[in-house]
């Protein structure tokens, strides 16, 4: 049995890409500064030296062109991994993602699949302000034809890429910027993960906390604090934002009868809204309390640390929301 | 305006027959007053009312069998205006389909012609004002609990599932903590219950069959047994009784119940319910005490807060309960809210009993017959001692044998120090 | 292949026949549109036939074609069956996209026809991608990408020309310059109206050609393809053409004069070729009538086929939103290497 | 107190404990507890009833003397005769 080695989320992302490049000659990495610079968040550092410029392609700053090129290349037999520096920049490629990647399989009557993986950084917390800090994965989760993943753990960061590349559909992987430095031991017993199911990261009877990505750890922290007060929470890590693993959410809510959704996206029209609505549609008569959300405050992400922290979901806000839901105000 | 409804006295009760009104139209009623007697498959049960006010109208005639939740009477609160005579169209008295209308009633119904409720019957004011969660509303329907009398503890004061279940178990959850209520209420028991209050043995057998089948089907029982030396406990009872006239005397069973209740304080995981796939702790230590009935059958009414009763109060409660159980004078709140059950075979029973858990409780304790047997005492000497075999059946979904063992060990320990009980 | 094309009679007759086939197919489409059998937007290629026919004449089966929403000409010239095309126009199950694409989104995996792209400029990145894949996998294939001069306004045009040249990708960029982006004349949209010149700024060989002269188009395309297949990177062709009809069906054409249209009609690519062939004894009397009669029979058959085709069942609505395989690879073999 | 009177008092007290019990049908040497299905609580209630009706003390140590019908009536006769 191998022993657990100390590693980081960033290293797990890198090893996942490396393993994919080794496993399949059709795989290549393409994006801004992925080669010589080593990746904006240093995920692809060292890969250029190992795999060469054909397979670790620095691109010009033309998101639409290189994302669209990834789509075309996937259609024509390759398995591209396209990196977009941050979700805010992905808007420059939204045309290609929505109008081509997500629609061509259906629009062509099933003649063309787009086996493409797009990775991008998301989320706030590093004082990067309003053009580098948003969580727009909920927008992407709105789009039929895409699969949306949000690895929150080392194991998911390490092992989600392989099934994503095997998938015949365009898969977008959102990596939260606050997780890259997260250190831990990669569970040696895990050698693969699925990209279909949510994971219940903590079990409890009193309330269901639904979250994903960077918010998972705040939510788990809140759940531990609540346990000290005798409130036991189920914590669901969605992992897959589209298609949603509705069964896991509903099973939990039917048990606990209460749900709080924690989502770093803005509240209005959010993924949290979607999850809440699904619960309302399918588990209404199991609810013993109103649904609640803890989302980012509705402002462009500010720069100053105290403002940014106030805008982001926090474990304190999660705790307060759960307390209120269980009638334990104060 | 409040409605007094056919209460649910247990998860297996679906309907009841109104056999006696203890109130009349125009009379005042107090909270907790026994207002009616209802015949169930478990026998006649006095039913308390949880409203204050004046009886405005009795809605169900004697002898009618109605489903749980059916309004039985309308009670006008203090200061409220008298309402129109007709029952609220949204809340019609609903006889069970199996009940044939009496020949006398049928013609008058024909004379009146069909009476359909208006298409848009307004909801009763109380139903509009209170907040109830969807799950609680469904649970209330299942348990036949009138939401008007449930106190909400959820967000914005909403009634939650836990509130409904607490209300269904009786008024305990609504009363402020204080002296136990069971002995005080015992004084209201009728001296001579009418013969029709006896239990129907066939219906009772069916009820026991349903509950016990469900238990054995759903609950993975585990069993633990200990033999306890009762030498000190019996000597304590004997010495105490020697100085007292018969009405003040104790039975050894009192010590067993008290020891059980005190031990449960240390293992709260065994005192409560398995509901919706999870354990819910009981609101207090309310021991169901299995009482066998003459002519067969069994009831297990609850004695509330046994851990807080002194031995004399507990003995009084037990005597009262046995008396009323055997004459059919049990109250609604006593039958539905035990958090743990004890069965005691007594001096003429078998040496040990492996009891079956009463769902949704999670454990039951069985005391066998006290027998004299050889025993090795603390000094290692062989002696003859009165021994008692105590058997715990636990719900393995809710607890493990380790916890059960702690309960038995604690009971043993307490029975070796009877003066502390 | 030499850049000089052989212009024997059979070859010229085929060019003429293809252009007439497109023209008459679309005329039938207008009829069906007005009978409300075709709906949505319908963009006609009337006047521009020489561009697709001339360019696609020099392509090979393993090459990719990326077109715009005005792509009936490219679809027919590329060899997509008229029956499947007409059934798609009618939104039927036997349409090439099973009724999901319609006029603006024609796809055909067998001929590597990657749309039917109805976002102006949106097809260019795809073309860069298919060319990148071909190059990385060492396949001797190119991607021919059609777009209008309106796409030149888009950022994607510049991103893609840059990227294709930067990476020396086998892309033939074909700009169908018909002078109007919907109703916007190029003069009020572009500071520099010489489009080929823009391409040259990206160090890409580029030429402008008379898009009404199918022979000239074919000759230019042949030169372009030779350059690309030599491994020298992309090539840019601006075909100057004109659409005789409205942008789409519901267009009062307030942006141009009837006189301008009439002047261009004198340069109708079909009549231009037919007249030249007649003058040189290459088109015999009655030959054109016979050709048109045969084409009309094919169109009638395609309409009958499309009318008879069933509708896609509603249960199939959500099919192909997510795929469970990569069907184009099943068609061509792993890696898309098959031809 | 005469034996018939005592027998009536006992039957009366028993009726409150076990309404269907037929004390008259019990034979002299039969164990009351077995014949009338009395458990320890019933027996205590019998003792309490007799104590209240007859005003006599019945120490716990004497309980075994009360188990048969004859024993009970003899005991009560002796107590009330004192």
Residue B263 lies in a domain: yes
Query: Would residue B155 count as lying in a domain?
Result: yes
Residues of C in contact with A144 (CB under 8 A): 318, 321-322
pLDDT level of residue C235 (50, 70, 90 thresholds): very high
Q: Tell me the pLDDT band of D14, cut-offs 50, 70 and 90.
A: confident
Average pLDDT over residues D1-8: 83
Q: Is residue B112 assigned to a domain?
A: no
Assess whether B86 and B148 both reside in one domain: no
Unique residue bearing structure tokens 């209005």: A268
Residue with tokens 């929403």: C69
Nearest to A289 among B160, B277, B278 (CB): B160
**Phi, psi torsion values for B312, nearest 5 degrees:** -70, -45
> Tokens 């119940």 identify what position?
B257
Run of H or E residues at C201: helix C195-201
The verdict on B152 and B103 lying in the same domain is no
Q: Enumerate domains of chain D plus CATH numbers.
A: 3-81 (1.10.1200.10)
C126, A100 Cβ separation under 8 angstroms: yes
> Which among C178, C192, C215 has a CA at the least distance from the CA of C44?
C178
Regarding whether A217 and A174 lie in a shared domain, the answer is no
Reply yes or no on whether the pLDDT at B95 is more than 60: no
Nearest alpha carbon to residue C171 among C218, C131, C140: C131
CB contacts, 8 Å: A65 with chain C: 124-125, 128, 156, 159-160, 162-163
B346 part of contact set with chain A, CB < 8 Å: no
> Does A259 fall in a domain?
yes
The answer to whether residues A223 and A316 belong to one domain is yes
Backbone CA torsion sign across D36, D42, D43, D46: negative
ipTM of the prediction:
0.62
Distances (CA, A) of C245 to C35, C44, C240, C261, D67: 18, 7, 16, 9, 120
Looking at the fold, whether A165 and A246 belong to one and the same domain comes out as no
CB contact under 8 A, A111 and C327: yes
Tell me, what's the pLDDT at B177? 34
Distance CA A199, CA A234 (A): 10
For the domain that residue A225 is a member of, what is the CATH number? 3.40.50.920
Range of the domain at B161: 126-175
Total number of residues shown for chain C: 339
Strand partners of residue D42: none
pLDDT at position B126, please?
Answer: 40
- Please report whether residue A82 resides in a domain: yes
Q: Establish if A178 belongs to a structural domain.
A: yes
Please name every residue paired with B395 in a beta bridge, in sequence order, or none if there are none: B221
- The neighbours of chain A, by the rule of 3 or more Cβ pairs under 8 Å, are B, C
User: How confident is the model at residue C20, as a pLDDT?
Assistant: 98
- CA-wise closest residue to A168 among A195, A129, A140: A195
**Subunits close to C (at least 3 CB pairs below 8 A):** A
User: What digits encode the pLDDT tens for the residues B173-207?
Assistant: 333 333 222 333 333 333 333 333 455 667 677 77
Q: Given this model, what pLDDT does residue C38 score?
A: 93
Alpha carbons A158 and A148: distance in angstroms, whole number: 16
Is residue A38 located within the same domain as residue A178? yes
Same domain? For A103 and A74 the reply is: yes
In chain A, the percentage of residues whose pLDDT exceeds 90 is: 96
Q: Is residue A137 part of a domain?
A: yes
Mean pLDDT of C236-246: 95
Please name the member of C132, C319, C323 whose beta carbon is closest to the beta carbon of A73. Answer: C132
pLDDT tens track for A212-245: 999 999 999 999 999 999 999 999 999 999 999 9
Which domains occur in chain C, in start order? 9-310 (3.40.50.970)
**A274 carries an active-site annotation:** no
For residue A286, what are the domain limits? 199-325
pLDDT of residue B66: 86
Proportion of chain C above pLDDT 90, given as a percent? 89
Answer whether B6's CB lies under 8 Å from B70's CB. yes
Higher local confidence (pLDDT), C337 or D44 = D44
Task: Tokens for B296, please give them.
Answer: 């067969």
Distance from CA of D3 to the nearest CA of B (A): 23
Whether C279 has a pLDDT exceeding 70, the answer reads yes
Residues B168 and B277 both lie in one domain: no
Q: Give yes or no: residues A119 and A267 share one domain.
A: no
Residues of B in contact with A289 (CB under 8 A): 133, 154-155, 158, 160
Q: Give the helix ranges, DSSP H, for B219-347.
A: 231-242, 252-266, 311-327, 332-336
The edge-to-edge listing of strands for the beta sheet with B2-5 is B2-5, B71-76, B53-58, B28-29
Q: Hey, is the C-beta of C108 within 8 angstroms of any chain A C-beta?
A: yes
Query: A282 at the B interface (CB within 8 A)?
Result: no
User: For chain B, how many structural domains are there in total?
Assistant: 3
Catalytic residue among A11, A32, A83, A132: A132
pLDDT of C34 higher than 70:
yes
Q: For A254-266, what is the mean pLDDT?
A: 96
Diameter over CA atoms, chain C: 58
Q: Do A170 and A268 have their domain in common? A: no
Same domain? For B160 and B295 the reply is: no
Match 């048109």 to its residue by tokens. Answer: C292
pLDDT, tens digit, 9 for 90 and up, residues B235-251: 999 998 888 888 889 99
Pair (B285, B139) in one structural domain = no
Interface subset of B 105-134, CB within 8 angstroms of A: 133-134
Same-domain status, A105 and A170? yes
Cβ–Cβ contact A169 with C under 8 A: yes
Task: Please check whether residue A254 lies inside any domain of the structure.
Answer: yes
Where is the domain boundary, A159, A185, A211?
A: A185
A46 lies in a domain? Answer: yes
DSSP C283: S
Provide the shortest C-alpha distance from residue B326 to chain D (in Å). 8
Q: Which of C133, C154, C202, C316 to mutate to test the interface with A (most CBs of A within 10 A)?
A: C133
Terminal Cα-to-Cα distance of chain B (whole angstroms): 47
DSSP track, A188-255: TT-----SS--EEEE--SSEEEEE-TTHHHHHHHHHHHHHHTT--EEEEE--EEETT-HHHHHHHHHH
Q: Is residue A49 part of a domain?
A: yes
B377 with B250, same domain: the answer is: yes
In a 13 Å sphere around the CA of A298, the CA atoms on its Cβ side amount to 5
pLDDT (0 to 100) of residue B292:
80
Can you tell me the mean pLDDT for B24-41? 82
DSSP-derived letter for residue A167 is S
Give the residue from B74, B107, B140 where a domain finishes.
B107
**A195 pLDDT more than 80:** yes
Contact pairs from chain A to chain C, CB under 8 Å: 174
Taking an 8 Å cut-off on Cβ atoms, the answer to whether B133 and A287 are in contact is yes
Question: What's the rounded Cα separation, in Å, for the pair C101 and B103?
Answer: 73
pLDDT value of residue B183: 31
Give chain B positions within 8 Å (CB) of A257. Answer: 133, 135, 161, 276
C-alpha torsion A107→A113→A115→A116, nearest 10: -20
The verdict on B240 and B297 lying in the same domain is yes
Nearest 10 degrees: Cα torsion C158, A38, A24, A238: -90
Distance between CA atoms of residues D62 and C50, nearest Å: 127
Q: What is the DSSP letter of B159?
A: B
Give me the count of residues in chain A: 330
Average pLDDT over every residue of B111-118: 40
Residue B201 lies in a domain: yes
* Count of the separate structural domains present in chain A: 2
Question: Exposed/middle/buried for A298, CB within 10 Å: 0-12, 13-18, 19+?
Answer: exposed
Q: By the CB < 8 Å criterion, does A71 face chain C?
A: yes
Q: Which two tokens stand for residue B161?
A: 């599932």
Higher pLDDT among residues C319 and B196, named by residue: C319
CATH at A46: 3.40.50.970
Residue C139 contacts residue C112 (beta carbons within 8 Å): no
CB B286 within 8 A of CB B337: yes
Taking residues B64-72, what's their average pLDDT? 85
Q: Say yes or no: A12 and A149 in one domain.
A: yes
For residue A190, is it within any domain? no
A132 is catalytic: yes
Q: Where do runs of H (alpha helix) occur along C35-122?
A: 49-56, 72-78, 82-89
How far is Cα C214 from Cα C50, in angstroms, rounded to an integer? 4
Average pLDDT of every residue of chain A: 95
Closest to A98 in 3D by CA, of A120, A119, A114, A110? A114
Instruction: Note whether B66 and B164 are same-domain residues.
Output: no
d(Cα A235, Cα A274) in Å, to the nearest integer? 18
Last residue of a domain, one of A185, A214, A249: A185
Could you tell me if residue B115 is inside a domain?
no
Going B324 to B328 to B334 to B337, the CA torsion angle's sign is positive
Q: B23: pLDDT confidence band, cut at 50, 70 and 90?
A: confident
Is the predicted pLDDT of residue C286 greater than 90, yes or no? yes
Asked if A323 reaches chain B (Cβ–Cβ under 8 Å), the answer is: no
Is residue A180 domain-shared with residue A296, that is, in the same domain?
no
| B339 and B414 co-located in one domain | yes
Burial class (CB in 10 A: 0-12, 13-18, 19+), B355: buried
Tokens of B291: 């009482």
Q: CA-CA distances (angstroms) from residue A248 to A192, A236, A237, B388?
A: 20, 8, 10, 49
- What residues of chain D lie within 8 A of the CB of B290, using their CB? none
Instruction: Classify residue A196 as exposed, middle or buried by CB count within 10 Å of its CB (0-12, 13-18, 19+).
Output: exposed
Using CA atoms, how far apart are residues C120 and C180, in angstroms rounded to an integer?
13
Residue B118 lies in a domain: no
Q: What is the CATH number of the domain that holds B365?
A: 3.30.559.10
Listed by number, the residues of chain C in 39-98 with a beta carbon closer than 8 Å to a beta carbon of chain A are: 64, 95-98
- B119 is a domain residue: no
C-alpha torsion sign, points C135, C137, C138, C141 = negative
For chain D, the residue count is 82
Ranges of beta strands (E only) in B123-275 are: 221-229, 272-275
Q: In this structure, are A146 and A235 located in the same domain?
A: no
Looking at the structure, tell me whether residues B233 and B131 fall in a common domain.
no
**Chains C and D touch each other (3 or more Cβ pairs < 8 A):** no
Please determine, for residue A111, whether its predicted confidence score (pLDDT) is greater than 60. Answer: yes
pLDDT of residue B285: 93
**Are A80 and A177 found together in one domain?**
yes
- Quote the tokens at residue C200: 């040259």
- Among A185, A207, A238, the domain-final residue is A185
Please report, for the domain that includes residue B157, its CATH number.
Answer: 4.10.320.10
Predicted pLDDT of residue B117? 37
φ/ψ (deg, to 5) at A318? -65, -45
Residue the block writes with tokens 């006769």: D77
Quote the CA–CA distance of B185 and B301 in Å, as a whole number: 14
- Tell me, yes or no, whether B148 and B27 share the same domain: no
Cβ-proximal residues to A165 (8 Å cutoff; 6+ apart), any chain: A20, A24, A27, A79, A81, A115, A117, A171
| Domain match, B57 and B140 both | no
E strand or H helix that includes residue A49: helix A47-51
| D/B touch flag: 3 or more CB pairs below 8 Å | yes
Q: Does residue B57 lie within any of the structural domains? A: yes
Give the CATH number for residue B48.
Answer: 2.40.50.100
Nearest chain D Cα distance for residue B387, angstroms: 17
- Provide the pLDDT for residue B74: 87
Do the beta carbons of residue A55 and residue A79 sit within 8 Å?
no
Torsion of CA B365, B369, B374, B377, to 10 degrees: 50
């Amino acid at each position: 049995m191998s022993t657990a080695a100390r590693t980081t989320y960033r290293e797990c992302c890198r090893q996942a890409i490396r393993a994919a490049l080794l496993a399949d000659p059709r795989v290549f990495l393409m994006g801004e500064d992925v080669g010589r610079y080593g990746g904006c968040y240093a995920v692809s550092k060292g890969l250029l030296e190992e795999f060469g410029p054909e397979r670790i392609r620095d691109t010009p700053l033309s998101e639409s062109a290189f994302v669209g090129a990834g789509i075309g290349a996937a259609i024509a037999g390759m398995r591209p991994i396209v990196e977009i520096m941050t979700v805010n920049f992905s808007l420059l490629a939204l045309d290609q993602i929505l109008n081509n990647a997500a629609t061509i399989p259906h629009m062509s009557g099933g003649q063309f699949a787009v086996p493409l993986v797009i990775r991008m950084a998301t989320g706030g917390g590093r004082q990067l302000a309003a053009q580098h800090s948003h969580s727009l994965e909920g927008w992407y989760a709105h789009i039929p034809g895409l699969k949306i993943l949000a690895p929150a753990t080392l194991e998911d960061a390490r092992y989600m890429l392989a099934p994503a590349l095997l998938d015949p559909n365009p898969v977008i992987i959102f990596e939260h910027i606050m997780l890259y430095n997260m250190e831990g031991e990669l569970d040696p017993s895990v050698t693969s993960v699925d990209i279909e199911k949510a994971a219940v990261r903590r079990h409890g009877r009193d309330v269901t906390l639904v979250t994903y990505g960077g918010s998972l750890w705040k939510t788990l922290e809140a759940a531990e604090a609540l346990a000290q007060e005798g409130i036991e929470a189920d914590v669901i890590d969605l992992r897959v934002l589209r298609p949603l693993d509705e069964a896991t959410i509903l099973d939990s809510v039917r048990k606990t009868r209460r749900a709080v959704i924690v989502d770093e996206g803005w509240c209005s029209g959010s993924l949290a809204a979607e999850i809440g609505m699904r619960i309302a549609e399918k588990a209404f008569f199991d609810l013993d309390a109103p649904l609640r959300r803890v989302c980012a405050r509705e402002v462009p992400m500010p720069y100053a640390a105290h403002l940014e922290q106030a805008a982001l979901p926090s474990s304190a806000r999660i705790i307060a929301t759960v307390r209120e839901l269980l009638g334990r105000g104060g | 305006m409040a409605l007094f409804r056919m209460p649910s006295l247990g998860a297996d009760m679906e309907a009841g027959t109104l056999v006696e009104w203890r109130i009349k139209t125009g009379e005042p009623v107090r909270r907790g007053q026994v207002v009616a007697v209802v015949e169930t498959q478990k026998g006649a049960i006095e039913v308390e009312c949880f409203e204050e006010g004046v009886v405005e109208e009795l809605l169900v005639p004697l002898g009618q069998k109605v489903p749980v939740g059916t309004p039985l009477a309308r009670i006008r609160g203090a200061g409220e205006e008298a309402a129109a005579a007709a029952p609220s169209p949204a809340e019609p008295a609903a006889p069970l389909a199996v009940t044939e209308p009496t020949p006398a009633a049928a013609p008058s119904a024909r004379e009146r012609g069909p009476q359909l409720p208006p298409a848009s019957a307004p909801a009763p004011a109380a139903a509009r004002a209170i907040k109830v969660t969807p799950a609680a509303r469904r649970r209330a329907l299942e348990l036949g609990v009138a939401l008007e009398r449930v106190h909400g503890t959820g967000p914005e004061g909403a009634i939650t599932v836990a509130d409904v279940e607490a209300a269904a178990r009786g008024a305990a959850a609504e009363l402020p903590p204080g002296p136990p209520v069971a002995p005080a209420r015992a004084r209201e028991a009728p001296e001579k219950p009418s013969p029709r209050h006896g239990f129907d043995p066939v219906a009772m057998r069916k009820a026991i069959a349903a509950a016990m089948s469900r238990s054995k089907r759903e609950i993975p029982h585990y069993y633990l047994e200990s033999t306890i030396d009762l030498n000190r406990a019996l000597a304590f009872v004997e010495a105490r009784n020697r100085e007292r006239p018969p009405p003040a005397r104790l039975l050894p069973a009192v010590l067993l119940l008290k020891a059980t209740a005190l031990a449960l304080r240390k293992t709260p995981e065994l005192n409560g319910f398995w509901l919706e796939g999870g354990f819910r702790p009981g609101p207090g230590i309310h021991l169901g005490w299995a009482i066998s009935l003459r002519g067969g059958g069994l009831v297990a009414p609850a004695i509330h807060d046994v851990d807080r009763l002194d031995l004399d109060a507990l003995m009084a409660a037990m005597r009262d309960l046995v008396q009323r159980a055997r004459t059919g004078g049990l109250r609604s709140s006593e039958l539905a809210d035990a958090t743990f059950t004890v069965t005691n075979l007594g001096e003429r029973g078998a040496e040990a009993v492996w009891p079956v858990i009463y769902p949704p409780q999670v454990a039951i304790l069985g005391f066998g017959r006290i027998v004299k047997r050889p025993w090795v005492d603390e000094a290692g000497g062989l002696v003859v001692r009165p021994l008692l075999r105590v058997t715990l059946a636990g719900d393995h979904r809710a607890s493990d044998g380790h916890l059960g063992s702690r309960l038995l060990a604690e009971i043993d320990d307490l029975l070796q120090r009877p003066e502390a009980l | 292949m030499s850049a000089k094309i052989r212009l024997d009679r059979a070859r010229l007759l085929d060019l003429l026949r293809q252009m007439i086939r497109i023209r008459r197919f679309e005329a039938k489409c207008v009829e069906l549109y007005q009978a409300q059998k075709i709906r949505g937007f319908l963009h006609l290629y009337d006047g521009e036939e020489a561009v697709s026919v001339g360019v696609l004449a020099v392509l090979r089966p393993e090459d990719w074609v990326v077109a715009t929403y005005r792509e009936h000409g490219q679809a027919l010239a590329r060899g997509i069956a008229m029956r499947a095309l007409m059934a798609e126009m009618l939104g039927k199950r036997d349409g090439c996209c099973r009724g999901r694409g319609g006029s603006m989104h024609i796809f055909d995996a067998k001929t590597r026809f990657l749309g039917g792209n109805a976002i102006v400029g949106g097809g260019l990145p795809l073309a860069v991608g298919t060319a990148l894949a071909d190059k990385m996998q060492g396949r001797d294939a190119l991607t021919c990408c059609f777009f209008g001069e309106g796409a030149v306004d888009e950022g994607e045009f510049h991103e893609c020309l840059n990227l294709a040249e930067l990476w020396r990708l086998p892309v033939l960029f074909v700009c169908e310059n018909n002078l109007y982006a919907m109703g916007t004349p190029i003069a009020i949209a572009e500071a520099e109206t010489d489009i080929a010149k823009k391409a040259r700024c990206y160090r890409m060989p580029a030429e402008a050609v008379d898009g009404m002269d199918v022979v000239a188009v074919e000759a230019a395309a042949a030169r372009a393809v030779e350059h690309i297949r030599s491994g020298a990177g992309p090539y840019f062709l601006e075909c100057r053409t004109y659409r005789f009809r409205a942008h789409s069906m519901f267009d009062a054409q307030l942006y141009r004069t009837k006189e301008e249209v009439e002047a261009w009609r004198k340069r109708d690519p079909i009549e231009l070729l037919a007249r030249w062939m007649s003058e040189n004894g290459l088109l015999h009397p009655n030959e054109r009538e016979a050709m048109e009669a045969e084409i009309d029979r094919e169109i009638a058959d395609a309409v009958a086929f499309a009318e008879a085709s069933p509708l896609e069942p509603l249960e199939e609505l959500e099919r192909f939103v997510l795929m469970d395989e990569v069907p184009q690879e099943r068609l061509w073999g792993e890696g898309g290497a098959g031809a | 107190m005469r034996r018939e009177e005592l027998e009536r008092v006992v039957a009366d007290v028993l009726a409150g404990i076990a309404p269907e019990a037929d004390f008259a049908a019990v034979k002299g040497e039969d164990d009351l507890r077995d014949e009338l299905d009395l458990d320890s609580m019933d027996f205590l209630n019998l003792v309490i009833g007799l104590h209240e009706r007859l005003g006599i003390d019945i120490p716990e140590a004497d309980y075994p003397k009360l188990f048969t019908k004859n024993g009970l009536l003899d005991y009560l006769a002796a107590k009330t005769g004192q």
